[in-house]
Structure 1
Amino acid sequence: MERKSADRNARRKPSGAAVIRPELTTALFRALFEEWAESGYAALSLERVAARAGAGKAAIYRRWPSKLEFVCQAIQGVGITLSDFSDHGSLGADISAYLRTTRVAFRHPLIRKIIPDVVAERIRTPEVAEMLDSLTAARRQLGKRMLERAIGRNELQPALDKELALDLLISALYIRMIVHSKNTTMAEIHRLAIAIEAAIKAC
């Protein structure tokens, strides 16, 4: 009897806090971005987000204590991966890879709708601004490593203005694709990479 009882206890599911399922977390992030693209941050409804993900609102609050924390983790989870900062052997190749990957991200219909709203919310909400500043700092640090590799290859001068160079790296593509909602061909990406490389070398 004691052995059977022990076996039943071993098979019994643990009670208490619900298990956090990674697949539901992923579904909640996806639903968040879909809802955000439709409604904007200010009108973002966690009830509708949960419903899109096939869950209850409690599933969100088991993971994040507030809408802001939910949004921050979602943005931080994708923000670094939107661009390629890896080593491709030369400054020109690094810039081209960065632009190609960023182009793919900017072409995504959800991202094209969400980014302008994120920028606007940054002005309205200090907590969002703080989160975006942290994410931007992390991305720019990766960009600086790319520039430092080019300095190490003697492609750029050690006195390079890295902050200006990083602004040049993203600004033209952002204005074209996000501000003006224009598509960019791979031929245009190639020409843009050449122009940006020349501009950075002049910094």
Structure 2
Amino acid sequence: MPPRRPAGAAVLRPDKTEAIADAAFAELAAAGWAGLNMDRVAARAGVGKAALYRRWPSKDAMLLDLIAQAGAERVPAPDTGRLRNDLVAYVRAVRAALADPTVAAIVSEVLAHTRRSPELAEAIRRRFRDPRRRALRSVLQRAVDRGELPPAADVELGLDLIAGPLVLDAVGLGRRRTAADAEALVDAVLAALTRS
């Protein structure tokens, strides 16, 4: 007799994980961090609550994991071989992600909640912001290595100059942007970096 395959609890199906992620983001956008409820996430995903707890030990762990994964998937660090093209592609990818009303609501909610929770702020920095900065720092460092930026370029300043307008966009305080605005932002950043 062949060995019996483990049932449900031992198998984490990717389609269920994707349904849970979609449900968690929808609930986060609708109810906010504090109002998100694991029962509602499970019901919206069409799974039992145990399916969530097999994957994550808590609501915070689930949200942090999903946010970190989504950020890496939606906004990869480009490598076109030219710095300007890389930065324009990055800015456009971030703005395209933020054009999704659910994403915009989630970003605003997470940023607001980090003001109330130093632990969450640190976790978001460690799991989301720092990896994104490392990826973008590598884009700028490759440009230094290729000679597109001077060796003394203030890469950290460049990261801040790119992030600032994007954060304003994320919280709805940025002005209405056009496709040309990505290029204008990148050109301003490059001008600052080549002067440093």
Question: Normalization by structure 2: what TM-score?
Answer: 0.90
Q: What SS class does the counterpart of residue 197 from structure 1 fall into? A: helix
Match of 1:157 in 2: 150
Alignment of 1:81 with 2:73, yes or no, is yes
Over aligned residues, Cα RMSD in angstroms? 2.0
With over 3 angstroms needed to count, the CA separation of the structure-2 counterparts of 1:15 and 1:25, relative to structure 1, is: closer
Match of 2:98 in 1: 106
Gaps of 5+ in 2: none
CA distance in 2, matches of 1:59, 1:31: 13
Asked whether the equivalents of residues 168 and 200 of structure 1 are also in contact (C-alpha less than 8 Å), the reply is no
Match of 1:3 in 2: none
Gaps of 5+ in 1: 1-5
Which of the residues 89, 95, 100 maps onto 1:97? 89
Q: What SS class does the counterpart of residue 42 from structure 1 fall into? A: helix
With over 3 angstroms needed to count, the CA separation of the structure-2 counterparts of 1:140 and 1:15, relative to structure 1, is: closer
Asked whether the equivalents of residues 86 and 146 of structure 1 are also in contact (C-alpha less than 8 Å), the reply is yes
Which of the residues 10, 14, 24 maps onto 2:6? 14
Question: How far 1:12 moved relative to its partner?
Answer: 4.4
Larger radius of gyration: 1
Which of the residues 159, 173, 177 maps onto 1:180? 173
Which amino acid is the alignment partner of residue 114 of structure 2?
Answer: R
Asked whether the equivalents of residues 84 and 97 of structure 1 are also in contact (C-alpha less than 8 Å), the reply is no
Match of 2:121 in 1: 129
CA distance in 2, matches of 1:147, 1:16: 46
CA distance in 1, matches of 2:8, 2:108: 42
CA distance in 2, matches of 1:98, 1:31: 27
Q: Deviations over 1:154-185 (max 9, x none)?
A: 22121222211101112123324533265422
CA distance in 2, matches of 1:100, 1:192: 11
Alignment of 1:72 with 2:64, yes or no, is yes
Alignment of 1:31-42 (within 5 A): 31-42=23-34
Question: Normalization by structure 1: what TM-score?
Answer: 0.87
| Sequence identity (%) | 40
Q: What SS class does the counterpart of residue 9 from structure 2 fall into? A: coil
